[in-house]
Amino acid sequence: MHLGGNMKVVSKVNVLAERNGWSVARAQGFVDGEMSRRRGGAPSTYAQVGIDEYSLGFRAGFYERSTSQSKAAATSLGSPLRDIAAVAREG
């Protein structure tokens, strides 16, 4: 029995789980979601609305995010934070 490709997936799942502090179920869902997106598949209703670890991971892997703003410039209000010392001097 040949497990070459399957062993890579198991290894990736374990690495993701350890690196991100995820459960193995969440990491497996992430890998499955990523593979489904790359193959052009549609997520099942269960994967879209489930609240278990696997479904959360699947959605994280399936739905790619892109941001228009760098993380350093982003705030909850959408504008960069000002230096608090400069604000204090102005006041």
pLDDT per residue over 7-39, tens digit each? Answer: 666 788 989 999 989 999 999 999 999 999 999
Burial of 74 (0-12, 13-18, 19+ CB in 10 A): middle
- pLDDT mean over 70-74: 51
- The residue to which tokens 């990491």 are assigned: 27
In a domain, 69, yes or no: no
pLDDT at 64: 76
In a domain, 54, yes or no: yes
In a domain, 53, yes or no: yes
In a domain, 44, yes or no: yes
Note down the domain range covering 50: 4-62
In a domain, 90, yes or no: no
pLDDT at 42: 87
Residue 30: which of 6, 62, 57 has the closest Cα?
57
Position 2, amino acid: H
Q: How many domains is the chain built from? A: 1
In a domain, 73, yes or no: no
pTM over 0.85: no
Q: In the structure encoding, which two tokens stand for residue 24, read together?
A: 């193995």
In a domain, 91, yes or no: no
